[in-house]
Structure formats: structure tokens, C-alpha cells
């Protein structure tokens, strides 16, 4: 139960300091709890009264005689949304008490019954209709998608002399993306924190055909750095065509291992905000060239693989954020979202954020985390991503077989939970099954040689 001080703070917050009598009443119709908003002049329903009795607050409520001042939301003619919610709620509340109340719902007047009926109707109608619709139209939709894909494959964006900004270009997928773009004759802006590594990548990119390669060190967790990255890129090359949002880190620890919360924001600061800031500052420039955002999310956007709760959350947030942004900027900026599975990089070499928020390389942890999932070469991953971008695809899942987990997640999430739990959770004193499989069959069975080197 919430303490009274907390409840009072919420009362004040809800009416702008002039505490209308907001009371908390538990309803147990569906096992959940509802908030009842009631004026002290009103009468509480029998159900709410009973509930308050249980929580020992009835006397408090009933003895309050002083009529409260009317907040603005209650004044005649006020049409604000909060006001109408309060009014609706009071109508429901009053009519509920008039009619004797209901144990399950705060109101049983006609309008409320009608609303409940609409939802019952939609609950019964929509899911089976959509399911049958999906089954019936499945072959046609797949056919239409393939025709569309074929059509798009003939229309390739010519990237020569395009200006491409890549974040996280000092290693892994970002470094390889730089080479793939370089081979297409682009002008590159390479960014990450390690300037020395970026200079090496820039030199190699020039030797591979990049029209130019400009290095801008930047920490994507700093909004100022991200703003400056975009401004420096535009000052140097005059415009932007592609912005590749790739910088990222991954955690590998169980939440219960953390002794404090200091390290918690690290992954979301990098993988979510570190992609939002550059995207935001690049928008006006990308609008003027009808450019593209290439977003490196992950299959973790929909997999609930243990030990990486923050990573999964950040990638799910990225997917939703950039899908929404795509809808907002439709016709002005294109968005390609890449969702790679485990890929050759510093992450799959074992570089993970630990419970204290620091990055460490540990190949035993990598074996437990990645387990028997075969690691894709970064060459294959980066080629698929750049190809999807130049063919104006919305999504690219690489390797494609990870898509199988999506219907499993939607249809039988229990199976996915079970599979990941038996793979990743410790088994008493024995290592998790994922690591035991890698130990038994050897790292080289699953991982490219580059990620097997000693840390």
C-alpha cells in the first residue's frame, strides 16, 4: 500500500496544488488496481468504501466536511483534457453510487456499459479476423513483397561522392561499413572515441576507393559531441547523404549481480541516446538532400536473451524510435534499420559492459553469452547492410534465420523463455549450457578465428 504522504503528493500534483480530494481505491475486478478520482463532496461507492475500510482510511474520507475550492478543471465551461477526465470520472463515480455500485467496475451507467461492450466486441472480433486475414493473404503478401524487392533490386542508389557519416567506425561492424562505403566511392566522416584507430581506418578506406575520409573523434553519450560531429561534417563536405548510427556497447551480467545502479545507464546512454542525438542534429541536412538514416539495431530488439537486459532494452527502444521517426519523416528522409545477429567484432571478442558499468574483455563470458550461436563475419554483415541501404529497404535482418524467433516470441513466448533460460542460466556449480556446448565442440566450430584470439 502507498503511504499517505505519497498519496497526498499525488493529490497535489493532480490538481496543480489545490488538492482536490483524490483518493486511491483498489478495485480487484481483473486483479489490477485502478485510481478513483473523487470530489470530497461526492459519495464513495460501496465498493470503494469497503476497500478504504480494508486500508483503514474510511474515517479520514468521511469526516472531511469542508467543501473544497473548485479547481479550474471543475469550473463551468472549462474544456481542458484533465478537466474532462475528472468530470468523466466523477460522472462514473456518482452514477456508480446511485446505482449501488459494482464490485468489479467503478461505474455501471449506460455509457460505461456501452464502452465495455465495444471492447468486448473488439476483443472477440479483431484477433481472429486478423489471424484469418493473415493466413488467407499470406501467399499474396509474400508474393507482393518479393515482387517489390525484385523491383527495388533494379533501383540502386549511386553512392559515388555521397557524404556518409558513420558512428562507431573504429572497430567491428562500423569499421567494415566504412570499407564497404569506401568501395562505392563515397566521402566518409568516421567517428568514435579512439582517434588513432579511426585514422588507420580512414587510411585504409582511402586506399580502397573512398573519395575522401575525414576523422572526427566523438563520444556519442555527449549531446554536444554529437551536435559538433554533424556540424563539422557539414562544414567540411557541405552536405550529408547517409548517417549510419552504429556506435554501441553491450552488457553481459545478470541484474542481480549488480551491487549498485551506477553502471545501469551506460548501455542506454550509448545505444539509445547516442543514436538519437546525431539523428536529431542531422535531420535538417538529410531533409535537404532527401538522405538516409542507416540504423544498426539488433535481433536483440525482439529477443529476450538473458544477461543482456539493458542491451535488449536499448535495441528495442531503437527499433521503436526509428520506426516512428520513419513515419514522421516519410517522403523526406529514408530510414533503413539493420538487425544483425551475433557478428565478428570487439563485442564477440568478449568486450562487454559489466555490472559496474565498465567495459572488460572476457572470452569465457563471451562463450556463455554467445554460446552455440554461429558468429557471422563482419564482411557479410556490412555488405548486407550497405546493400539494403542503397536498395532503399526498410529492414535488413542478417543472418535472416533469426527472423524465426519473431513468430515464436509472439506465439509461444514460453518456449523462447525456456530455450534461453536453459542455455544461459547457471546450473549449480556447472557453467551454463551455452558455455558447456562451446567447450565441448570448440570455439572454432561457432566463431571466426578473429574473435578467438586471447584477450
Strands (E), 149-299: 163-167, 187-191, 212-215, 242-245, 292-296
Tell me, rounded to whole angstroms, the distance of Cα 135 from its chain centroid.
28
CB of 92 to ligand NAP, least distance (A): 47
Helix (H, G, I), strand (E, B) or coil at 400: helix
Nearer to ligand NAP, 49 or 409 (CB): 409
Cα–Cα distance, 188 to 161 (Å, whole number):
9
Q: Are 44 and 25 in contact (CB under 8 A)?
A: yes
Q: Which residues contact 64 (CB under 8 A, 6 or more apart)?
A: 21, 40
Nearer to ligand NAP, 44 or 295 (CB): 295
Binding footprint of ligand NAP on the chain (CB under 6 A): 167-174, 192-194, 197, 218-221, 246-250, 270-271, 274, 296, 298, 340, 342-343, 345-348, 351
CB of 222 to ligand NAP, least distance (A): 8
- Give the single-character DSSP code of 384: H
CB of 320 to ligand NAP, least distance (A): 16
Nearer to ligand NAP, 39 or 301 (CB): 301
Stated as kind and residue range, the H or E segment containing 336 is: strand 334-340
- Phi, then psi, of 11 in degrees rounded to 5: -60, -45
Nearer to ligand NAP, 194 or 427 (CB): 194
Q: How many CA atoms lie within 13 A of 372 on its CB side?
A: 14
Q: Which of 160, 345, 356, 327 minimizes the C-alpha distance to 247?
A: 345
CB of 215 to ligand NAP, least distance (A): 11
Cα–Cα distance, 54 to 51 (Å, whole number):
5
CB of 258 to ligand NAP, least distance (A): 20
- Phi, then psi, of 53 in degrees rounded to 5: -55, -45
Q: How many CA atoms lie within 13 A of 250 on its CB side?
A: 30
Which residue out of 285, 311, 402, 447 is catalytically annotated? 311
CB of 14 to ligand NAP, least distance (A): 39
Nearer to ligand NAP, 249 or 396 (CB): 249
Nearer to ligand NAP, 15 or 270 (CB): 270
Is 311 catalytic? The answer is yes
- Give the single-character DSSP code of 399: S
CB of 205 to ligand NAP, least distance (A): 14
Nearer to ligand NAP, 92 or 221 (CB): 221
Helix (H, G, I), strand (E, B) or coil at 430: strand
CB atoms within 10 A of CB 227: 16
Q: Are 386 and 184 in contact (CB under 8 A)?
A: yes
CB atoms within 10 A of CB 121: 10
The rounded radius of gyration (Å) of the Cα atoms in the chain is 28
What is the set of active-site residues? 311
Amino acid at each position: 500500500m502507498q503511504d499517505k504522504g505519497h498519496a497526498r503528493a499525488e493529490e497535489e500534483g493532480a490538481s496543480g496544488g489545490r488538492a482536490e480530494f483524490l483518493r486511491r481505491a483498489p478495485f480487484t475486478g481483473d486483479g489490477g488496481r485502478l485510481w478513483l478520482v473523487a470530489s470530497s463532496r461526492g459519495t464513495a461507492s460501496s465498493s470503494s468504501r469497503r476497500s478504504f475500510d480494508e486500508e483503514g482510511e474510511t474515517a479520514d474520507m468521511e469526516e472531511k466536511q469542508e467543501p473544497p475550492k473548485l479547481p479550474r478543471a471543475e469550473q463551468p465551461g472549462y474544456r481542458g483534457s484533465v478537466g474532462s477526465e475528472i468530470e468523466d470520472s466523477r460522472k462514473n463515480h456518482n452514477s456508480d453510487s446511485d446505482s449501488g455500485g459494482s464490485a468489479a467496475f467503478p461505474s455501471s451507467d449506460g455509457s460505461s456499459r456501452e464502452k465495455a461492450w465495444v471492447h468486448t466486441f473488439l476483443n472477440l472480433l479483431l484477433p481472429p479476423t486478423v489471424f484469418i486475414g493473415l493466413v488467407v493473404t499470406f501467399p499474396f503478401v509474400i508474393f507482393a513483397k518479393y515482387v517489390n524487392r525484385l523491383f527495388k533490386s533494379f533501383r540502386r542508389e549511386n553512392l559515388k561522392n555521397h557524404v556518409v557519416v558513420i558512428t562507431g567506425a573504429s572497430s567491428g561492424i562500423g569499421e567494415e561499413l566504412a570499407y564497404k562505403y569506401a568501395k562505392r566511392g563515397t566521402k566518409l566522416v568516421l567517428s568514435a572515441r579512439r582517434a588513432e584507430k579511426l585514422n588507420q581506418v580512414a587510411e585504409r578506406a582511402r586506399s580502397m576507393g573512398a573519395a575522401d575520409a575525414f576523422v572526427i573523434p566523438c563520444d556519442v553519450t555527449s549531446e554536444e559531441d554529437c551536435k559538433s560531429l554533424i556540424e563539422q561534417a557539414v562544414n567540411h563536405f557541405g552536405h550529408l547523404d547517409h548517417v549510419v548510427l552504429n556506435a554501441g556497447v553491450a552488457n553481459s551480467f545478470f541484474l542481480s549481480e549488480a551491487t549498485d545502479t551506477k553502471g545501469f545507464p551506460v548501455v542506454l546512454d550509448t545505444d539509445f541516446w547516442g543514436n538519437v542525438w546525431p539523428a536529431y542534429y542531422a535531420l535538417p541536412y538529410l531533409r535537404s538532400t532527401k538522405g538516409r538514416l542507416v540504423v544498426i539495431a539488433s535481433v536483440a530488439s525482439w529477443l529476450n536473451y538473458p544477461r543482456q537486459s539493458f542491451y535488449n532494452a536499448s535495441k528495442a527502444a531503437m527499433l521503436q524510435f526509428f520506426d516512428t521517426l520513419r513515419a514522421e519523416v516519410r517522403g523526406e528522409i529514408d530510414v533503413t534499420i539493420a538487425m544483425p545477429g551475433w557478428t565478428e567484432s570487439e563485442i564477440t571478442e568478449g568486450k562487454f559492459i559489466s555490472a559496474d558499468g565498465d567495459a572488460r574483455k572476457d572470452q569465457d563470458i563471451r562463450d556463455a553469452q554467445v554460446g552455440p550461436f554461429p558468429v557471422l563475419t563482419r564482411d557479410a554483415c556490412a555488405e548486407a547492410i550497405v546493400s539494403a541501404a542503397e536498395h532503399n529497404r526498410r529492414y535488413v535482418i542478417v543472418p535472416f534465420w533469426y527472423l524465426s524467433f519473431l513468430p515464436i516470441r509472439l506465439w509461444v513466448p514460453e518456449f523462447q523463455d525456456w530455450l534461453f533460460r536453459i542455455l544461459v542460466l547457471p546450473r549449480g556449480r556447472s557453467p551454463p549450457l551455452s558455455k558447456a556446448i562451446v567447450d565441448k565442440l570448440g570455439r572454432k566450430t561457432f566463431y571466426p578465428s578473429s574473435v578467438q584470439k586471447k584477450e
